[in-house]
Structure 1
Amino acid sequence: MTSKGTTWTVDTVRSADGTTIAYEAAGDGPPIILVGGAFNDRNTTRPLAAELAADFSVYGYDRRGRGGSGDTAPYAVRREIDDVAALIDRAGGTAYVYGLSSGAILAAYVAAEGLPVTGLALFEPPFQVGSHGGVEPGLAGRLTELVSAGRHGDAVALFLTGAVGVPAEAVAGMRGGPEWAWMEGLAHTLAYDITVTGEGLPADRLATIAVPTVVVDSTGSPDRLREAAAATAGAIPHATRRSLAGGFHEVPPEVLAPALRDALLG
């Protein structure tokens, strides 16, 4: 397939538990795997992948339960780590890893497990630090209950208010918008993102990461996300932090990609 001049190879890989993981690859250079966050799949990471494809062999994939990937119950973060391990193996046995939001936490855990990661880039991992009170207790279970009852829209609304911190009146205005149906389609995976995020900053786990790491945040993000980025960079030995011009929990791909090239490839 082609997209904006970039040719993508679409394929699947089998994870350790037998789950099929769908991915697309493009570019020429050292491999980098893009790990999306909530409401992300390989479609949403494709604009960044296209920007990186001039310098990397970029692998964008559907996290389990999303897009063309399968799923296997019960959910466990370990299974998602294994998914990335399968992609690293497919990419040639070693790779850079970039993660966004909850995907950044997952990427950090991949490196902390000692998998063959060349370098690590983390965009605003939403660890709970400082004055941020964290997500509502039992949120993952409540999300699962809503989805099981067929109330996908209510699950999306609960995630946005209880985890992201979007005001309820703003969420009400989003209902019926062009992206709402898309978010409802991923509602069944939101409990996974909450589980990945966990509670607090696992500084002892992050301290085991031994690969070059850059932690990125957006100047337009709220203090809690920027504080979490700073704390993450402080917990990972020799990590660097970059603040880039952007909006709420996002930096345009044309700004982010050059910064990642510089940080990872020097």
Structure 2
Amino acid sequence: MTTTMKGEAYAYAAYSLFAAEADRQAHPAVGKLFRSTAQTELNEHLREAATLAGAVGSNAANLRQAINGETYEHQVMYHRFADQARTDGDLEAAKLFTEIAADEGRHRDAYRTALTVVTTGRGTIPAPPKADTVSVPAGLPKVKAARTQANLDTALHGEALAHAKYMLYAAQARQTGNPALARLFEGTAGVELHEHFAGEGVLAGLVRPTKKNLSKAITGEHNEATTLYPGFAKRATAVGDTAAARYFRDTAADEAKHAAAFQQALNQLH
């Protein structure tokens, strides 16, 4: 289910940017289509996968998971990506990776403080961080090394998943009577999406003109509908996990509808 959640979270984040580009190019109907599809990916597909996977636990368990993820990104992943980008001559990417590593350290520290409050009842939940929102207009990649591009792709998927998980954790915190913790998760989720994912998206050339964005979305949705999710469903059926198999079949059918809707939108732009 981790692969599923990561893919759905990425689709939500990317389609949100594609929607903004469609609006910039005066294609409001396409922007609306991207936004509605993004909401389906996040609020239906990802949430259902998270439920099946048991991805959301108690507030303390959610904080521990978040701390582990932020620690890895702070201490290992982004420092390695920065070093590799510097070696490959992608200095702008190295700078961004270094800045994000520092942000993730601050997120980890805030979550550690929050965990102490949740587990001891003493202290105050830290105030949520505020995102420095990055605009992502259409553009080509701004990095030259294949390794940097691959690392950007890994980072983009990770930031999208972090955003989605933190929003789920925020909902759990709010439902259990801890609005301060919910705000911390929501604020951090905003940084992951609007600052980190967006900044990486600029360097990766994630957003292109709307016709290309539609073509990319069609390819992705078609692959999920015909290959990825049917394969997952087959494996789930083989081990007797009927609930997961049903989820994968239903999601494959949804993705086929998304592909068809995107294709229709593309046809109308020609």
Where is the helix percentage greater, Structure 1 or Structure 2? 2
Higher relative contact order (CA 8 A, sep 6+): 2
Where is the strand percentage greater, Structure 1 or Structure 2? 1
If you compute each CA radius of gyration, which structure gives the higher value, 1 or 2? 2
Report if TM-score (shorter chain) is over 0.5. Answer: no
